[in-house]
Amino acid sequence: MRAAGLDIGSRTSKLVVWEDGRIVKHRLVETSHDPLTVCRELVQESPPDRLVATGYGRHLVREHLGAEVITEIRAAAVGAHHLHPSVGLVVDIGGQDTKAIALDASGRVRKFEMNDKCAAGTGRFLEVMATALAYTLADFAAAASSAAAAAKVSAMCTVFAESEVVSLVARGTPRDQLALGIHTAIVERTCAMVRRLLGEGDILFCGGVAHNEFVRAKLAELLGRPVHVPENPQTVGALGCALVAAGDGAAI
């Protein structure tokens, strides 16, 4: 049986196809202004016998493509446990939200916290701040890593923080120090959520922000624990959906 998982996020949509006990295909594309068309094209490339979807656009896909749907929390838990069976906590920072998910030894969700009411500390926040400082995302993380000191950025609301950063630049604050201050504030905000759930087991970091090397290293430093990042951190939720579609994640 060919099983497929779709994770329709605010910034990107991910497809994982699972067949004969392995991943046979994975794709990541921009969600764009027309997520239904994007998802329809992804699915038509490798039509599955069963499709399970998650993410912001999951109900749209259920209505128009006949997909079954599961929550982002369950999708991340199933995908993370498959990739790293000793994981006890999943940190998922995507385009518009941050999730911390505590798992038991069998991969079941014990408890979770989610910041989905504000883009502060998410991928979108990083994109806006990088643009305000005229950095690419890669250069933004590199600047934070090389800065000698961190400039304090008080606001974490995306709109107010952008205004504050522009004002600080106008006063002569070095860009790299602002990059460090912004990154540090994001990680500290995430760690406050994570510490409320942290228990036994390893930490797995997924979502688009997991590509940011500074955030990865700072999380490990502040938590005092290794932080594991899978090879394709943005497709963990889609993998979880594919496993559920194949019946391999039904118990979680």
pLDDT at residue 89 is higher than 80: yes
- Judge contact between 114 and 152, C-beta under 8 A: no
What's the mean pLDDT when you consider all of the chain?
92
Average pLDDT over residues 75-96: 96
Confidence of residue 199 (pLDDT cuts 50, 70, 90): confident
pLDDT at residue 118 is higher than 80: no
pLDDT at residue 82 is higher than 70: yes
123 half-sphere exposure, CB direction, 13 A CA radius: 20
Over residues 200-246, the pLDDT tens digits come to 899 999 999 999 999 999 999 999 999 999 999 999 999 999 999 99
Please give the CATH architecture assigned to the domain spanning 2-73+235-246: 2-Layer Sandwich (3.30)
The CATH code that applies to domain 87-229 is 3.30.420.40
Over residues 145-156, the pLDDT tens digits come to 999 999 988 877
Please report, to the nearest 10 degrees, the dihedral formed by the alpha carbons of residues 94, 97, 102, 106 taken in order.
-50
Residue 116's pLDDT is 62
pLDDT at residue 96 is higher than 90: no
pLDDT at residue 251 is higher than 60: no
Residue 252's pLDDT is 61
Angle at 156 between CA 150 and CA 157, to 5 degrees: 150
Cβ contacts of 37 within 8 Å, gap of 6 or more? none
CATH 3.30.420.40 residue window(s) in the chain: 2-73+235-246, 87-229
- The Cα 127–Cα 135 span in angstroms is 9
Cβ contacts of 198 within 8 Å, gap of 6 or more? 88, 89, 102, 223, 225
- The Cα 65–Cα 246 span in angstroms is 18
Average pLDDT over residues 76-92: 97
Average pLDDT over residues 87-100: 94
Confidence of residue 8 (pLDDT cuts 50, 70, 90): very high
Over residues 64-79, the pLDDT tens digits come to 999 999 999 999 999 9
Looking at per-residue confidence, does 154 or 185 come out higher?
Answer: 185
Round the CA-based radius of gyration of the chain to a whole number and report it: 18
Residue 132's pLDDT is 92
Over residues 13-64, the pLDDT tens digits come to 999 999 999 999 999 999 999 999 999 999 998 899 999 999 999 999 999 9
Task: Please give the share of the chain, as a percent, with pLDDT higher than 70.
Answer: 97
Confidence of residue 159 (pLDDT cuts 50, 70, 90): confident
